[in-house]
Amino acid sequence: MAIPERQVPAVHHRRIGDITVTTVSDGYLDGSMAVIQNIPEAEAAQMLRDAYRPVPRRTAVNCFLIRSGGRTALIDTGCGNHMAPTGGKLFENLAAVGVSPAEVDTVLLTHMHPDHSNGLADAGGTPFFPNAELVMHEAEHAFWHDDAAMAKADEMSRERNFRAGRSQVAPYRARTRLHRGGEVFPGVTAMPFPGHTPGHTGYMLASGTDSLLIWGDIIHVPEIQIPRPEVTMAFDIDPAQAAATRRRVFDMVARDGQAVAGMHMHFPGFLHLVRRGEEYVMLHDGWYPAM
């Protein structure tokens, strides 16, 4: 009998009232512990070991397919083929769902970091989603197209974030819609969560009595940032604002019992937060064969 060498396709469906949301894994990225800030590196590493997680950090990359009102949207597009061989799995997993990129009529970006927007177009500038409107917060688009902001960045950020982001969104120039929040797709409301980037956005899905908040990059390393929300990342544009936004969102979802999904939560990415004393605790939602 052949020994398996890879997992089955990493997709997971969930119903939110009349909306179907599907987590589509783009894979994962292994990265340096040095980017985890406002905590000693040795302490951060020990927190991961105590949770039986890899050291250095391993970060899941999730995208979310939304089918609502007879339409199809995708929240974020993953790493493309620009980052690491462990990422860029979005398209093979979309194929496993039976969805062609041409069927996606809307791409909603949480923000323009490369692990979220590099799957928009190929190196030649051909869009992977030929029929999709690109939707993002107006502050996000403005920041990454600001030459003064780019001049202040280091060369790696200028190349990987500013130039790469601009090249990825350029093929959608004629069909880009910018927002300041509010409903952006049937049953989907954009919620600005600034700090990680100026236009960083979460998306609230609501239908009937059900709802799900897809909160983007509120956290990157759950075993560290949930118990220690003051911990920031080197790629937070405004670390203080990112930490304040994280606390605000944590308070909201814990108070309301709000179901949450995240781009960097362990697949399939669904969880609840509860507050116990002064700390937050992550409760992973279970996997069920019925949607």
| Percentage above 90 pLDDT, the chain | 95
Query: Could you tell me which of 10, 7, 12, 6 has the C-alpha nearest to residue 287?
Result: 12
Q: For residue 1, tell me if it sits in a domain.
A: no
Q: For residue 291, tell me if it sits in a domain.
A: no
pLDDT at 251: 98
Region 196-200: what's the mean pLDDT? 98
Q: Is the pLDDT of residue 93 over 90?
A: yes
Domain CATH number, residue 167:
3.60.15.10
Q: For residue 32, tell me if it sits in a domain.
A: yes
d(C-alpha 216, C-alpha 191), whole Å: 10
Q: For residue 289, tell me if it sits in a domain.
A: no
Q: Is the pLDDT of residue 31 over 80?
A: yes
pLDDT at 216: 98
Q: For residue 38, tell me if it sits in a domain.
A: yes
**CA angle (97 as vertex; 91, 101 as ends), nearest 5:** 45
Q: For residue 277, tell me if it sits in a domain.
A: yes
Number of domains forming the structure of the chain: 1
Q: Is the pLDDT of residue 290 over 80?
A: no
Q: What is the dihedral of CA 132, 178, 164, 193, to 10 degrees?
A: -110
Query: Could you tell me which of 141, 140, 99, 134 has the C-alpha nearest to residue 119?
Result: 134
Strands (E), the chain: 11-16, 19-30, 36-37, 58-68, 71-75, 106-108, 133-137, 176-179, 182-185, 188-192, 201-207, 210-214, 232-233, 260-261, 270-276, 279-284
Q: For residue 246, tell me if it sits in a domain.
A: yes
b/e per residue 15-52 (b: at least 16 CB within 10 A): ebeebbbbbbbbbbbebebebbbebeeeebbebbeeee
pLDDT tens column, 252-283: 999 999 999 999 999 999 999 999 998 999 99
Joined together, the tokens standing for residue 33 give 């512990």
Question: What is the chain's length?
Answer: 291
d(C-alpha 61, C-alpha 86), whole Å: 10
pLDDT tens column, 122-173: 999 999 999 999 999 999 999 999 999 999 999 999 999 999 999 999 999 9
Q: For residue 91, tell me if it sits in a domain.
A: yes
Q: Which domain holds residue 108?
A: 11-284
Q: Is the pLDDT of residue 291 over 80?
A: no
CA dist 271 to 16, 107, 212, 258, Å?
Answer: 14, 23, 10, 9
**Please, are residues 79 and 61 in contact by the beta-carbon 8 Å criterion?**
yes
The pTM assigned to this predicted structure is 0.97
Q: Report helix, strand or coil for 160.
A: helix
